Amino acid sequence: MLNIQNYINGTFQDPIKDNWIDNYNPSNGEVYGQIPNSHIEDVEQAYQGAKSAFKLWSKTTLEERSRILIKISELLEENLQRFAEAESKDNGKPVSLAKSIDIPRAASNFRFFGNAITQFASESHESVGQSAINYTLRQPIGVVGCISPWNLPLYLFTWKIAPALAAGNCVVAKPSEVTPMTAFLLGEICNEAGLPKGVLNIVHGLGTSTGQAIVEHPDIKAISFTGGTATGAHIAKVAAPMFKKLSLELGGKNPNIIFADCDYDDMLNTTVRSSFANQGQICLCGSRIFVEKSIYDKFKTDFVNKIKALNVGHPSNADTNIGALVSKPHLEKVKAYINIAQGENGTILCGGNEVTVHGYENGYYLEPTVIEVPTDECRVNQEEIFGPVVTIMPFESEEDVLKMANKVKYGLSATLWTNNLNRTMRMSNQLQAGIVWVNTWMMRDLRTPFGGVKASGVGREGGFEALRFFTEPKNVCIKY
Ligand code: TXE
C-alpha cells in the first residue's frame, strides 16, 4: 500500500480528520493505496500556510523565483522514469506516453513560466496635454486556488501552478482524487528545489469536499479550474457572488474536418492520434470526424484498418498503444455511450467491446471504437464522451461542414485538413473554437493563448495570458 499525504507548509501530513479514500490502479482494478479525504480544516491550514508565505514570496526577486522554478523543472527531468511510471500506474496511460509527453511537458511548464516571468512587462500611457503619466502595476493576487483533472494529471496541475507561482502568488492546489500520485511526488521536488515552505500547498480529496472548500474560501481570491463543464458551471455559481477571478477550462467535442485536397498520409496518421491518444481522454481530441464525400469510403477503410491494428494492453508494455481507462465509473460512462449510439442507428465500424488483458482481467480496457453516424445531431455526436470513441460521417460542402462543426455547445479546438489557403482562412475565421489546428494536431507553443469558447470555458491560459490572469492590474496616474 502506498499512502499519500497532504503537502502543507512544506511538510507532509495526514488529513486532520483522518479520513481516507481508496486509490485504484486502473490497469488491474486493484486498490494500491489511500489518499487523504481532506476537509475544510485542512484547506484552512493550507490557506494559512500560503498566507504567511505570501509576504516573502511576493517580494522575492524575479531572478530568484525563476531560478527555483527552473530547478523544479530540472529535478522533474532527472526523475522522469519514476514520475512516468507513477503517472501511468495512477491513470492507466501507457508509460511510453507519460514519458514522452506528460512528464516532459510538466517540466516545460516550470521552465517556461520561470523564464516568462523575467520577460513579463506592463504598459504605460502618457496622457498627452494633461501633464500626467499612467503606468500599470501587475501585482500578485495573493493566495490562489488551482484545481485540476485526471486525464493529464501532472501536466495540467503544473500548467496552473507554474504561472501562479511565477507571478508571485502562493497556491492551494488540489489534483484530481482519481490521479493524485504525481502531485504528491511534486511536493518532494519542490522542497529539494528550495521552494520556501507554504508557497505551494497540495491538498488531496474529493471535489465536493476539498475542492468545494477551496472554491468557497473567502480569502482565496482566484480559482483556476480544469475539468468537466457541469463542475465548471457549479464553481462559477459559487465563486461569482464572491467576485473571484475565474479561469475555467472545460470540456470539448472537437471537429476534425478532412478535405480531399489534404496531405492524405499525414492526415491519416495524425487522425489516429487525435482520436485515440491517451485513450481519447484529452479535451482536445478530435472526436467528431467529418470527411469530404469524394474520399469518404477510402478514408473509412484505411482508418478502420489502422485502428484495428492498435494494441490495447497493459500500460507498461512497450508495444501498447491504448492503455486502461482511468476508472471503473468512467469505463461504464463510455460504454453507455456506445449503447446510445446503437440505439440512434449508429454503425459500429470497429471496437465497441471491453478487452480482457491477460493477467490484468479486472483492468478497465476498451477497444478503440469508430462509429458511423447517420446525422450530426445524434447524442454521441453532441455530448462529450471523453474516451476511445469517435464518430465519422461524410460532408458535401464547406458550408455544410462549417455548420455541423459549430452546431455543438462546446468550442474548444478544431482541426482542419486542407491545402487550400483561401479555404483555410475562411474556415479558421468562422470556426467557433479557441484553437484551430490546420494540417496538424496538438502542436503546442506555450506562448499561445489556450482555452475555449461557449461551454468549453471562460478565460485563457498559456504565455502572458496566464501571467495576466494570476496578477491584478493597477493603474497609477501621476500628474506632474
Ligand atoms: O471531472 P470533474 P470528472 C469531462 C469529461 C468527464 C467529465 C467528468 O467529460 O467525463 O468531465 O469528469 C474537482 N468544487 N472532463 O467528474 O468532477 C475534482 O475533484 C471544486 C473534461 O472526473 O470536473 C477534480 O479535481 N472542485 C476535462 C476536478 O474538479 C471540484 C478533464 C475535475 O473533476 C468540485 C476531466 C467542486 N464542487 C474531465 N467537483 C478537461 N477539460 O480536460 C469536482 N471537483
206 C-alpha to ligand 1 centroid (Å) = 10
pLDDT tens-place string over residues 108-141: 999 999 999 999 999 999 999 999 999 999 999 9
State the pLDDT confidence band at 73, using cuts at 50, 70 and 90: very high
Q: How far is the CA of 283 from the centre of ligand 1 (A)?
A: 12
Give the model's pLDDT for residue 186. 98
Mean pLDDT of 182-205: 98
Mean pLDDT score, 191-203: 98
Distance 148 CA to ligand 1 centre (A): 8
Catalytic residues, by residue number, are 249, 283
Ligand 1 neighbourhood includes 250 CB (under 6 angstroms):
yes
Determine whether the shortest distance from the Cβ of 461 to ligand 1 is under 6 A.
no
Tens-digit pLDDT profile for residues 262-297: 999 999 999 999 999 999 999 999 999 999 999 999
Contact (Cβ atoms closer than 8 angstroms) between residue 320 and residue 309: no
Residue 331, C-alpha cell as written in the block: 469505463
- Whether the per-residue pLDDT at 1 is higher than 90: the answer is no
Q: Residue 232: CB within 6 Å of ligand 1?
A: no
For the chain, give the percent of residues with pLDDT over 90: 100
Does 283 contact ligand 1 (Cβ within 6 A)?
A: yes
Helix (H/G/I), strand (E/B), else coil: 149: coil
Contact 75, 195 (CB under 8 A): no
Residues in CB range of 299: below 8 A, 6 or more apart: 258, 268, 291, 392
pLDDT in tens, 329-367: 999 999 999 999 999 999 999 999 999 999 999 999 999
- The reported pLDDT for the residue numbered 2 is 86
Per the CB < 8 A criterion, the answer to whether 291 and 299 are in contact is yes
Pairing of strands 30-36, 124-127: unpaired
Q: What is the pTM of this model?
A: 0.98
Q: Over 90: is that where the pLDDT of 431 sits?
A: yes
Instruction: Say if ligand 1 is within 6 A of residue 248 CB.
Output: no
Rounded to the nearest angstrom, the distance between the alpha carbon of 250 and the centre of ligand 1 is: 8
